[in-house]
């Protein structure tokens, strides 16, 4: 466990996940106030985070500084958070690692091992050999699955929000060999608008979202690759359909599974609870009680519940989380705590 207080920096605090991350780091008992960094400079760029998020006004100021590796080293930064677009993280991580920094990246830049899963992001690496070497060192930052490797990691790739909700629901059953993959898995997932990021688009404009509910990116959502890799599934097994809810935040995934053999609800619940024993931020609901988005909002919990048909083989799982916390900033803080040997609750409870 590290002694003394750690100096961190956040690139991308002006986004929704970046704001949540900044708030967590400011109240974290083992950290100095984080340095807030932005890549651009000039008169049009905000100088304080309160200019972007007025809710922070009146608290003494949250200055934004331009990205400079020498400046970060002079200020004693040891760990860098990237809450930046995927392509930006792809270019910044090699530089940060060369400076000796540990990195937690909230983007998808370093999550995916297989080229076919990275292809939708169209990364263009200046040095493909170095990028491939870094990819081998990156650890997928899902604490419930990879806590041992995260502790030693220099580069942690924070999972996607949809992927977190689906992987956590399915992982215990896949590991137990209960899932009948020949029958396929269907994940019907819904997210609040903040999951699309801070920059507005035609799809996320208020007029498009309000009083509406829509599916998108059917068969080609970028998070599918994460689910397949982490659960070691073939692409033909999973049908994943994301939907946009007319709410600011929150995710609910309804997952339909056939089991290889009949099981009793109590045995299924025992499988879930055993898998997540000691995992602070996963809550298992007793059947037939099911999670709801409002119960996990503004928390770092992933809530998982299920209903099992009378035949004991047709299973519906429901997984809920806050896409900006357990699906992004909160999970990044979990990874920080693992990397430095701190309590899973530090900064989060």
Choose, from 161, 279, 302, 320, the residue flagged as catalytic.
161
Q: Measured between alpha carbons, how far is residue 192 from residues 47, 59, 158, 317, 325 in Å?
A: 29, 29, 19, 19, 13
Backbone angles phi, psi at 195, to 5 degrees: -65, -20
The residues, any chain, with a CB within 8 Å of residue 208's CB and separated by 6 or more, are 202
Contacts of 104 (CB under 8 A, 6+ apart): 79, 80, 81, 82, 141, 156, 158, 332, 335, 336, 339
Partners of residue 240 on adjacent β-strands: 187
**Would you say how long the chain is, in residues?**
349
Torsion of CA 117, 119, 120, 122, to 10 degrees: 140
Q: Give the three-state DSSP class for 294.
A: helix
Alpha-carbon torsion angle 177, 181, 183, 189, nearest 10: 100
Closest CA to 274 of 175, 148, 167, 146: 175
Look at residue 244 and give its three-state secondary structure: strand
Own/partner pairs for 29-32, CB < 8 Å, 24+ apart? Answer: 29/346, 29/347, 30/2, 30/5, 30/6, 30/340, 30/342, 30/346, 31/5, 31/6, 31/7, 31/347, 32/5, 32/6, 32/7, 32/8
Are 163 and 226 in contact by the 8 Å Cβ rule? The answer is yes
The yes-or-no answer on residue 307 being catalytic is no
From the CB of residue 215, how many other CB atoms can be counted at a distance below 10 Å? 12
Report the catalytic residues: 161
């Amino acid at each position: 466990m590290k002694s003394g207080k750690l100096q961190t920096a956040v690139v991308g605090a002006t986004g929704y996940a970046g704001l949540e991350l900044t708030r967590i780091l400011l109240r974290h008992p083992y950290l100095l106030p984080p340095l807030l960094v932005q890549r651009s400079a000039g008169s049009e760029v905000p100088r304080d985070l309160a200019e972007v998020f007025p809710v922070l006004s009146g608290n003494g100021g949250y200055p934004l500084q331009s990205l400079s590796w020498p400046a970060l080293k002079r200020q004693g930064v040891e760990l860098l958070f990237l809450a930046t677009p995927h392509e930006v993280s792809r270019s910044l991580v090699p530089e940060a690692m060369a400076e000796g920094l540990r990195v937690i990246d909230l983007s998808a830049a370093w999550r995916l091992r297989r080229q076919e899963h990275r292809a939708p992001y169209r990364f263009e690496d200046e040095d493909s050999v170095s990028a491939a070497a870094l990819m081998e060192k990156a650890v997928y930052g899902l604490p419930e699955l990879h806590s041992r490797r995260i502790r030693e990691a220099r580069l942690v790739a924070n999972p996607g929000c949809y992927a977190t909700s689906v992987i956590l629901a399915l992982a215990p059953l896949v590991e137990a060999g209960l899932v009948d993959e020949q029958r396929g898995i269907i994940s019907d997932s819904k997210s609040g608008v903040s999951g699309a990021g801070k920059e507005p688009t035609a799809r996320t404009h208020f007029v498009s979202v309000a009083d509406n509910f829509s599916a998108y990116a059917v068969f080609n959502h970028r998070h599918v690759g994460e689910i397949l890799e982490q659960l070691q599934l073939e692409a033909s097994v999973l049908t994943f359909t994301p939907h946009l809810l007319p709410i600011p935040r929150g995710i609910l995934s309804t997952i339909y599974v056939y089991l290889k053999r009949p099981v009793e609800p109590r045995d299924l619940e025992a499988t879930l609870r055993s898998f997540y024993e000691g995992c602070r931020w996963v809550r298992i609901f007793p059947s037939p009680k099911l999670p709801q988005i409002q119960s996990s909002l503004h928390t770092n919990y992933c809530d998982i519940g299920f209903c099992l048909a009378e035949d004991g083989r047709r299973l519906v799982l429901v997984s809920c989380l806050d896409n900006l916390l357990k699906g992004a900033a909160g999970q990044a803080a979990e990874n920080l705590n693992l990397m430095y040997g701190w309590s899973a609750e530090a900064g989060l409870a």
